[in-house]
A and B are shown apart, each in its own frame.
Chain A
Amino acid sequence: MPTIEDLQRDTDSAVAVAAPTSVATPAPPRTFNARKKKKPWKSWLLFLLFAGPNVALLIVFTYKPLLQSLYYSTLQWNLGSASAIPVGLGNYVAWFTDPGTARVVTVTLIFTVATVGGGMVIGLLFAVLLNRKLHGRGAARTIVVAPYVLSGVAVGLLWLFVFDPNFGITAALLDAIGVASPPWYNDPHWALVMVIIVYLWKNVGYVALIYLAALQSVPRDVLEAASLDGASPVRAFRNIVLPLLGPTTFFLSITTLLSSLQSFDIIQAMTRGGPLEGTTTMMYQIYEEGFQAGRAGYSSAVATILFAVLLVVTLIQMKYVEKRVHY
């Protein structure tokens, strides 16, 4: 009978597998030359040598462009053009009053909610399945995670063939039950469903993996005590396991939201935002406006709005978690 140790070995305990609680614990002082207080500037200089290059890169390629983007958003400026006209909040006004904006926001919301929410539900289901003492679950875990390490472009292209309305697998499967294949390529709604399915297929393994690691750290005797108490497996899961997974769910909700909002490869490979802009998310719009239409100022305004939304959502998540999750 496998013990908890066995299960943990399965996920390779080589990486620091600290409990989620470690986040909240203040770190003990680690500067082991703290007693030689004589020349602090020497340590400061070393610190700059060690951390400086990384911080400099972040400033040059993350923080400075973040501010630049904010500034560009106030310009009417075409990418590569030498001249720009300051328009104040004009780009923002243009975006909020554009008749196409409602569609872009809806597409972004549907895509995000479906990929983040769907990913967490399916991922948790897979994790529960992979956590059972079944033969072949090691191989199954490998197979479930495999698509996650593949190129999004390659995944998008191969699924495009799977979804071919005439010669693809889905057409054949639907034909077997007497249903005609939906126009995946030509209908904006079906195209959105298609890219969501592909995104889930590629990324669900990651969610499953993280949940699996968390499930394996749930003490088995807690579950056994519950089942001896007569609690059904479903109730034991809902009342005991799910709350214990709280910090993991929080972590996943932030990371999967960030990657979902950034997803580009699959949409570019499969639909290029179409048909009829049915798969144009805000992220795709930023690319399209900036690099296809060349409207760099407008694109920067959309980028700024998206970043603001991202910050607010993350802050709300953190606030909510402070109340709900007990580390």
Chain B
Amino acid sequence: MAQQITTATRRRKPLQLGGYLGLAVAIAIMILPLLWMFLAGFKERDEIYTVPIQWFPETYDLSNYAAALAAVPFGSFFLNSTIITVIGAGLKLLLGLTTAYAVVFLEFPFKKFVFGLVIFALLVPQQIVMIPNFTLVASLGWINTYQGIIVPGLASAFGTFLFRQHFLTLPISILEAAALDGASHWTRLWRFIVPISAPTIAAVALVSIVSEWNEYLWPLLVVDRSDMMTLPVGLMLLQNNDGVTNWGVLMAGTVLVTVPVLLAFFVLQKRIIAGLTAGGVTG
């Protein structure tokens, strides 16, 4: 037995080294482009347009950031993105919770059909339906409005699916106690089910927030006024300003868009990762 373990560990050594090498390569590939973006945000023109490339700027001044903020209304972009994300993700969560509750705990003759309707929607890419939706939103006068950006993508399919999976695992005794207590379904959902489901809800919420924040195509279609643009849509304005790309300013703008998300990800990564994994592991 002891013999076997030592040969096993001896065989491990070169494997271990290869593992670290692989890890280092993977990390380098993922980090270098981001580092390149950060550093470019501080570079002067002659530090960018130079061969061989220069990794680090001489000074870390903020003139590219000032130029980016002066060129496009980043403040409005940030505000719009925040409003749309908070309202959109919040309502989507609410719809997911109530639909999953109904599907799991309430009686209805066509329950399976209703759930199937929700799940099948996952197979319909947003882009397939964008022309009719654009026509509808335009006819409602919702172009350049928050509701025009938020409402068409509001329905919850994936969230409903995940919450349903989770609700099916809840101990039924708690819910029976709640029922005997005479609590209404609304109270049962908010007093009993939501508190014990907090980790799942947080995970799903964070994933919705991230995708809402990054959403690009739909806001691009329904907004053409810069004061109503979200961050991803507005960022593209920096690219169009003149014929030649001013990388320093563009990268400064890109940093402004990515850094809040990166910081949030590093702080909340456990929950976000749990949310991303939830679909894969249960489905």
A39 to B122, CA, bound (A): 34
Which of the residues A22, A44, A66, A255 comes within 8 Å of B279, measured between beta carbons? A255
Which of the residues B37, B50, B154, B245 comes within 8 Å of A57, measured between beta carbons? B154
Which of the residues B126, B165, B232, B250 comes within 8 Å of A151, measured between beta carbons? B232
Tell me, yes or no, whether B152 is within 8 Å of chain A by CB: yes
Q: A11-B273, A43-B108, A69-B131 are in contact. Are A167 and B216 (CB under 8 A)?
A: no
A142 in contact with B179 (CB, 8 Å): no
Encode B206-247 as 1/0 by CB contact (under 8 A) with A.
Answer: 000010011011001100000000011101100100000101
A202 to B282, CA, bound (A): 24
A314 in contact with B131 (CB, 8 Å): no
B128 in contact with A47 (CB, 8 Å): no
B53 in contact with A55 (CB, 8 Å): no
The interface residues of chain A lying within 8 Å CB-to-CB of B235 are: 151, 153-154, 157
B124 in contact with A287 (CB, 8 Å): no
- B250-279 with Cβ < 8 A to chain A: 250-251, 254, 257-258, 261-262, 265-266, 269-279
Encode A269-311 as 1/0 by CB contact (under 8 A) with B.
Answer: 1000000000000010011001100001001100110110011
B51 in contact with A47 (CB, 8 Å): no
- Write the nearest CB–CB distance from A80 to chain B, whole angstroms: 8
A47 in contact with B153 (CB, 8 Å): no
A65 in contact with B111 (CB, 8 Å): no
The interface residues of chain B lying within 8 Å CB-to-CB of A161 are: 36-37, 40, 245, 247, 250-251
How many chain A residues touch B (Cβ–Cβ < 8 Å)?
115
B276 in contact with A54 (CB, 8 Å): no
- Write the nearest CB–CB distance from B142 to chain A, whole angstroms: 12
Given contacts A61-B136, A145-B273, A251-B279, 4 further A-B contacts (CB under 8 A): A15-B166, A144-B26, A148-B276, A264-B217
Instruction: Give B residues with C-beta under 8 Å from A.
Output: 4, 8, 15-16, 19-20, 22-23, 26-27, 29-34, 36-37, 40, 48-53, 95-96, 98-99, 101-109, 111, 114, 117-118, 121-136, 138, 151-157, 160, 165-169, 172, 175-176, 179, 185, 199-200, 203, 210, 213-214, 216-217, 220-221, 231-233, 235-236, 239, 245, 247, 250-251, 254, 257-258, 261-262, 265-266, 269-283
Instruction: Give A residues with C-beta under 8 Å from B.
Output: 11-12, 14-18, 20, 22-23, 27, 30-34, 40, 43-44, 46-48, 50-51, 53-55, 57-58, 60-66, 68-69, 72, 79-80, 125-126, 129-130, 132, 134, 136-137, 140-154, 157-162, 164, 166-169, 171-172, 175, 201, 205-206, 209-210, 213-214, 217, 227-228, 233, 248, 251-252, 255, 258, 261-262, 264-265, 268-269, 283, 286-287, 290-291, 296, 299-300, 303-304, 306-307, 310-311, 314
